[in-house]
């Protein structure tokens, strides 16, 4: 057993696989569970004073939090994104930061494909109509033979591509770092962004949030999309200029959107995308499937324990020079 205190803040850690908690509790001296959808710095500071390891969710891990944690050796992010963690401060303090790349790829891809059907067959409209007593047919689109455009061909993009090809779709993808071998093997056509936007019936976003991708989907991006097409975002809300998206929906240039993430979460009740009938919005559920949460939990747990035991983690984002720790 490692003589260490580990803080666990993700709400779903061990939810579908209790052995994760059992393994953690057998491996370290003390485990503290503070389940939360995301803690703010002022809430975190009193929690981290004597913590050695941290399995972290969507908490805002800013510099002042790390400065309040003199024993902290590792932050194992339960998920892929690390924009909530001050990586520079972690590096300066000798704190290892890890994440869980690919753990939720299949779950997010399945949601993306689900959105294809929701948009194409107007399932939201049909449900509302049926509940209101209407039994008139609502016409939709077939999926087979449509063109799906992927902006990003990383782990999630590749998982979407495989499923879309299996449905009989033509798949175009834009990614400067695309795996050409994967594309060739799975019938994915690599193309420039303008070609993808002009040809796709459905454009799906699968890029990380970086300075160059923030507000990628602006008025100009949307204008290049095919009239009557659909946009899907299961990546990051900050990729989209939401005011521009509302304009494209209201003027009819886009037929609809499906969004699992918004720039502000939760959004205000008066958010315009929540009132538009052509917008399907879900509360960031992409990774919230049993397989994904278990895989994320196992990867985060293994990396947390590895660092506490003096070993290198499998999935480092910040790995200070040896010796690790502080």
Residues classed as catalytic: 236, 265, 284
Q: Which of 73, 72, 75 is nearest to 59 (CA)?
A: 75
Tokens of 50: 């004597």
CA distance 319 to 2: 21
Name the strands in the sheet holding 170-174, side by side, starting at the edge strand that comes first in the sequence. 188-190, 170-174, 147-151, 202-205, 229-233, 254-259, 279-281
Q: What angle do CA 71, 84, 311 make, to 5 degrees?
A: 40
Q: Are the C-beta atoms of residues 173 and 123 closer than 8 Å to each other?
A: no
Give Cβ neighbours of residue 303 (< 8 Å, ≥ 6 apart): 74, 76, 98, 313, 314, 315, 316
């Amino acid at each position: 057993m490692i003589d260490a205190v580990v803080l666990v803040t993700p709400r779903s850690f061990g939810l579908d696989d209790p052995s994760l908690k059992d393994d953690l509790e057998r491996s370290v001296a003390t485990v503290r569970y503070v389940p939360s959808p995301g803690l703010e710095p002022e809430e975190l500071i009193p929690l981290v004073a004597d913590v050695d390891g941290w399995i972290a969710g969507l908490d805002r891990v800013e510099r002042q939090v790390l400065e309040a944690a003199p024993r902290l050796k590792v932050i194992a992010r339960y998920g892929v994104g690390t924009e909530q963690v001050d990586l520079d401060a972690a590096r300066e303090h000798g704190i290892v930061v890890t994440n869980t790349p690919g753990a939720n790829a299949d779950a997010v891809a399945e949601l993306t494909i689900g959105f294809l059907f929701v948009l194409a067959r107007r399932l939201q409209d049909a449900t509302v109509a049926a509940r209101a007593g209407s039994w008139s047919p609502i016409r939709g689109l077939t999926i087979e033979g449509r063109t799906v455009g992927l902006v990003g061909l990383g782990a999630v993009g590749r998982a979407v591509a495989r499923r879309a090809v299996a449905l009989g779709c033509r798949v175009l993808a834009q990614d400067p770092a695309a795996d050409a071998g994967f594309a060739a093997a799975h019938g994915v056509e690599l193309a420039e962004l303008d070609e993808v936007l002009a040809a796709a019936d459905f454009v799906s976003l699968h890029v990380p949030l970086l300075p160059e991708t923030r507000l990628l989907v602006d008025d100009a991006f949307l204008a290049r999309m095919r009239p009557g097409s659909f946009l899907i975002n299961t990546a990051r809300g900050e990729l989209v200029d939401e005011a521009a998206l509302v304009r494209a929906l209201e003027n009819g240039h886009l037929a609809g959107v499906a969004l699992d993430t918004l720039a502000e979460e939760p959004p205000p009740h008066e958010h315009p995308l929540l009132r538009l009938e052509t917008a399907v919005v879900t509360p960031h559920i992409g990774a919230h499937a049993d397989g994904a949460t278990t895989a994320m939990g196992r990867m985060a747990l293994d990396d947390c324990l590895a660092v506490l035991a003096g070993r290198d983690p499998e999935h480092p984002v910040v790995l200070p020079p040896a010796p690790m720790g502080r």
